[in-house]
């Protein structure tokens, strides 16, 4: 990789406890080929620079109106209007806004800049922790993800990758030796529902997972449970069939859908798409857990 290659990052979260074993630093890369109806990180989907607008923080000073070369911001007597279709992502309005009402969804960072943040947490990693690449889909920026992982290997930093699995299989041979643990989203074993709710066919995802396993990659299957969508026998059966076919899968995790991601649509100028009826109850989760245990799956 050239020294000045830039990686498109939405956020770096420090001291994470749920993105792999031990204490982790999670780096969210921008861009995802899926459009899951339950996405919790909608700002990571598009590769484009998007300006997040938080109306509750706006003090109506008009600085953004004055600097925007495209006339995307307008102030009326009682509202701040932001026409995102006009925005070209120059960030002039973000720099001019003193109240924090505007934020860029994307930062361009070098490997060195990312690892400068990561290294601050290193003293807390112990034997288990390290960096987790997340997103979006980290492999939507394949060369950048590989460059970051290679440098982590060189520095002896533990690595995990949270992935939807939908990426170019030609990178797998290079990728697998660089990742200690794949946190693999397995969204729905029913192909038609998978296409309906994520926008893509699952065949490629399953092929990539099986190839990672065949290459010796260690994985955890993370299954979001969406009531009324995938909490169904055919999905449970698909999880079981996958689990029994994998040699290096440590366990399966069930993650209950929550509606929080929906409110993250608002700063992007979209409607809150959180669906309360999709939230499983504790009893629903218990039922799913018991079904999967009966099918011989190791759950965590």
The site for ligand SF4 (CB under 6 A) is made up of 32, 34-36, 39, 41, 44-45, 51, 58-64, 67-68, 70, 72-73, 80, 87-93, 96-97, 99, 101-102, 135-137, 164
Shortest CB 118 distance to ligand SF4, Å: 21
Cβ proximity to ligand SF4: between 44 and 151 the closer is: 44
Please, are residues 236 and 284 in contact by the beta-carbon 8 Å criterion? no
Closest Cα to residue 224, out of 172, 162, 296, 132? 162
Shortest CB 172 distance to ligand SF4, Å: 18
Please, are residues 131 and 147 in contact by the beta-carbon 8 Å criterion? no
Cβ proximity to ligand SF4: between 129 and 135 the closer is: 135
Cβ proximity to ligand SF4: between 58 and 179 the closer is: 58
21 in helix, strand or coil? coil
**Residue 75: which H helix or E strand, with range?**
strand 73-75
Shortest CB 64 distance to ligand SF4, Å: 3
Cβ proximity to ligand SF4: between 68 and 231 the closer is: 68
Cβ proximity to ligand SF4: between 4 and 78 the closer is: 78
Shortest CB 93 distance to ligand SF4, Å: 3
The answer to whether the bond into 136 is cis (omega within 30° of 0) is yes
Buried b (16+ CB within 10 A) or exposed e, 115-132: bebbeebbeebeeebbbb
């Amino acid at each position: 990789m050239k020294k000045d290659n830039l990686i498109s990052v939405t956020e770096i979260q420090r001291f994470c406890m749920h993105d792999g074993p031990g204490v982790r630093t999670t780096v969210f890369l921008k861009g995802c080929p899926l459009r899951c109806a339950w996405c919790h990180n909608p700002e990571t989907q598009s590769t484009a620079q998007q300006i997040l607008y938080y109306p509750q923080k706006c003090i109506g000073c008009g600085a953004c109106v004055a600097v925007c070369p495209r006339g995307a911001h307008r102030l009326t007597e009682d509202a701040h209007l932001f026409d995102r279709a006009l925005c070209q992502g120059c960030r002039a309005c973000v720099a001019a806004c003193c109240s924090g009402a505007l934020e860029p969804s994307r930062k361009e960072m070098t490997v060195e800049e990312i690892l400068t943040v990561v290294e601050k947490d290193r003293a807390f990693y112990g034997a288990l922790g390290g960096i987790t690449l997340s997103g979006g889909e980290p492999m939507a920026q394949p060369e950048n993800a590989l460059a970051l992982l290679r440098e982590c290997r060189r520095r002896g930093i533990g690595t995990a990758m949270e992935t939807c699995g939908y990426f170019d299989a030609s990178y797998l041979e290079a990728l697998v030796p660089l990742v200690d643990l794949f946190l693999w989203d397995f969204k729905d074993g029913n192909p038609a529902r998978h296409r309906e709710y994520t926008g893509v066919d699952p065949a490629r995802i399953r092929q990539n997972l099986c190839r990672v396993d065949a290459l010796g990659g260690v994985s955890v299957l993370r299954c979001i449970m969406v009531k009324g969508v995938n909490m169904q026998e055919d999905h449970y059966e698909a999880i079981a069939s996958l689990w029994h076919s994998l040699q290096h899968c440590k366990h399966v995790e069930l993650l209950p859908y929550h509606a929080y991601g929906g409110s993250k649509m608002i700063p992007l100028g979209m409607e809150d798409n959180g669906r309360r009826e999709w939230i499983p109850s504790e009893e629903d989760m218990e039922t799913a857990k018991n079904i999967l245990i009966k099918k011989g799956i190791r759950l965590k």
